[in-house]
Structure 1
């Protein structure tokens, strides 16, 4: 998950945004490379999104499905799921390479990318665009909300029942390690999926607006245009989610926090000596 988020920053922010603004006439702007950048960006964003969904499902199984947990929550399953998600995202995004054509040709070199007219007219491309919107972010958004709701419902019911049983047998003041484990698991789950829902919300609204209002995604760079402002702010929060998540992954690990504290204390100890 951390790798996929870092790839979002590399492809979407460095190769697309920074390179496009500060190096507009580099080899990255040649049409085949420009199309490839779009594929890489789409693959990284989709992988990051769907790995968040699979993580949310994994936490749901751990907490709510004790029988399935033994078979599903294994290293082998995690490896297979990660591979399948990455492969499907790559295959789905590969079609984006054929959407674009050169903005203009200079000295027989095609420059920049613009969507082909057939992308807006062909039933096949219209269907692909609809599937792409459902694939990310509509379906992930709904699945994460649903899984979180089911997980919270199970925890509340299970905790109430567990407290009643323990109160009858051990008294009210006994610490429950199982409830403490569930609490830590739910904090991690909400930190990751909650940040995803909050920061992807504007991107989600943008997709809905584009589909309902029948306007173009590719609205140029008119800063006074409301569609452009909405779309760019949606992307900004999407990239911010990828910036935040690696810190959440690392910060949730006890060993990482211990090593971080040791690293911060080491220069002070050396200075005092």
Structure 2
């Protein structure tokens, strides 16, 4: 429904921000489908299905990593877009066009598809039955090599560390800019008679709330994963294997649950912060009831 509402373009948002929000909504939906439904549920509860063939299993891993990266980096792109709109008015007119976000999103997609290609070499079959390779497990040869170690660190930096730092950095710059300009505008309007209502500041406050709701949700829900990476890089890589009661195991799995949950939170944020989005959502929810009521009235008239 979020994708349908954004495509209709009746939320009062600019085309630039609509493109980013649409990309984020599609990526988040794919995370739920591929990472949660297919990988975490279907492959776990149906271990001898077609999904457990090694080649298909590798592709699911690959697709899941790509989509998760897209969801993360679309959030970074959205945060940067809000930073430019709020803090860089001279650059705003050139940057805020439909062509720019489409180009940025396309480049991110291509880079993520290329970046995750080593996944196909990082996993191997677990066992063979009737000359058919089943399941996937980490390739000891790959992860013990220099290329494997480099890939692990590169994967961690690109998926967690760099996005986390960039989002926090752009938010800090945005807050600093808004505080400085707000102080200056209050001082300027103090000398005027109409100093009670400032539509410009009201719009900036709305943008700040929306920005912090999206990026703040991302930071909070990915914080456990960041802590987990610190702990597992310091301790033994086989920190919890075979011990489901290990606290580190609980942190790892909780982090996975929260980062997947971050793909569900954006829709709730849209509904809470955007009045026109709520109105469009209610219209879509009411439309089946209105259609049924109309059909019943037509039958009664007949």
TM-score (norm 2): 0.84
Query: What are the within-5 Å matches in structure 2 for residues 1-273 of structure 1?
Result: 1-173=24-196, 175-216=197-238, 219-220=240-241, 222-249=243-270, 251-262=272-283, 267=289
- RMSD after superposition: 2.1
Q: How many residues align?
A: 270
Contact 2:121–2:142 (8 Å) recurs in 1: no
- Gaps spanning 5+ residues in structure 2: where? 1-23, 298-302
Cα distance in 2, alignment partners of residues 61 and 164 from structure 1? 24
Cα distance in 1, alignment partners of residues 285 and 43 from structure 2? 37
Cα distance in 2, alignment partners of residues 167 and 31 from structure 1? 69
Contact 2:221–2:261 (8 Å) recurs in 1: yes
Cα distance in 2, alignment partners of residues 220 and 24 from structure 1? 19
Contact 1:221–1:228 (8 Å) recurs in 2: no
TM-score (norm 1): 0.92
Cα distance in 1, alignment partners of residues 280 and 179 from structure 2? 34
Cα distance in 1, alignment partners of residues 242 and 51 from structure 2? 19
Contact 2:209–2:273 (8 Å) recurs in 1: no
- 1:71-128 Cα distance to aligned partner (Å, 9 max, x none): 1121100000111111111111121111111111011111111111122321111111
| Cα drift, residue 227 of structure 1 | 2.9
Contact 1:5–1:246 (8 Å) recurs in 2: no
